[in-house]
Structure 1
Amino acid sequence: MRIHALPNDVLDRARALAGTDEHHELHDESPGAPLRCCLRKAGPGEPVILFRHTPAAGRGPYEELGPVFAHTEPCDGPATAAEFPEAFRHAPRTLRAYTAAGRIHGGEVAEPDVLADRVTALLDDPAVAEVQVRSASHGCFLFAITRD
């Protein structure tokens, strides 16, 4: 599996708009915020931006808009693209599978100890192009996963 943080063009656009409107909030710090740029939790004193994002996979009636956090300045990105990020293994996650046409093609809520196995099972279906991992409690997009 390949883990995808938010694309640089999305992050660059959000950072350029940081603090300019109600959709791009600047926060001097927000410890514990799940950062979609590097797929870890924000630490104390790390400035972040909170902005609206629509993941690319869902299209038409399946398009979703939700809040995401990222560093206000570019960072090094995720430590790895091959493993489920440790910072996001602590709680159940909603897994949503999408076809290449952007249609939902299954999904489930998975417990932390079986997340990677459940993602693999969803990706084993040839109709699935991408799995979105979301917060089960808030529904927020965390990251996407595709086949290697």
Structure 2
Amino acid sequence: MHGISALPTQQVQAYRAGAPDGYGNPPERAISNGAGNPCRHCLKYIPEGKEMLVLAHRPFPETQPYAETGPIFLCADPCARYESEDVLPEALTDSPNYLIKGYGPDDRIVYGTGIITPQAQLHEAAEKIFSRADVAYIHIRSALNNCYHARIDRV
């Protein structure tokens, strides 16, 4: 089984302190409606009424044609980073399907790896993608909106 990686704590702390997002803007502040606002750090849903950050995130080290940027949510208050090898995070349990796709060590999409997979088959689909030697990691994204959720790293 491969590990699901949430956003690094250092990066999240920078966003909370007002660091610019993927488009150079400070994160916006909003109040969670309790549904559909998964924090990309703790990988839990931000409770209704709690403050959250909304920002454009580019989960790649530099800009290039395959470096997708899109909206994400973060708890405005400190939260513990998701760290588990055994339990699927809460933020990945509500949707019936996810888009997953592999990326090479050059941070570019490896063609032929993108698949919309049922949530219950997420790990099996990731294993199949990792059977390709040219895949360094996998993104888990919303099947409906293409929003970045988390990363699966090769172990």
Q: TM-score, normalized by length of structure 1?
A: 0.88
What is the match of residue 10 of structure 2? Answer: 9
Give every structure 1 segment of 4 or more consecutive aligned residues whose post-TM-superposition deviation is greater than 3 Å: 81-84
Q: Are the equivalent residues in 1 in contact too, given 2:3–2:154 (CA < 8 A)?
A: yes
- SS state at 2:65 partner: helix
Letter in 2 for 1:25: E
Alignment of 1:1-148 (within 5 A): 1-17=2-18, 23-32=26-35, 33-56=37-60, 60-89=64-93, 90-105=95-110, 106-148=113-155
Letter in 2 for 1:73: D
- Say whether the 8 Å CA contact 1:4–1:81 is kept in structure 2: no
The Cα offsets for residues 64-104 of structure 1, whole Å up to 9 and x where unpaired, read as 11011011122111152454324313321100100001121
Separation (CA, whole Å) in 2 of partners of 1:83 and 1:93: 17
The structure with more strand, counted as a fraction of residues: 1
2: CA distance, partners of 1:137 / 1:60: 24
- Aligned length in residues: 146
Q: 2:67 touches 2:108 (CA, 8 Å); kept in 1?
A: no
SS in 2 for 1:61: coil
Quote the Cα distance in structure 2 between the aligned partners of 1:72 and 1:86: 18
Task: Structure 2: state its 5+ residue gaps.
Answer: none
Cα distance change on mapping 1:138 and 1:44 into 2, 3 Å: same
**Identity over aligned residues, as a percent?**
27
Measured in 2, the distance between the counterparts of 1:81 and 1:54 equals 25
- TM-score under structure 2 length normalisation: 0.84
CA root-mean-square deviation: 2.1
Per-residue deviation, 1:44: 2.0
Structure 1: runs of 5+ lacking an equivalent: none
Q: Choose between structure 1 and 2: higher helix proportion.
A: 1
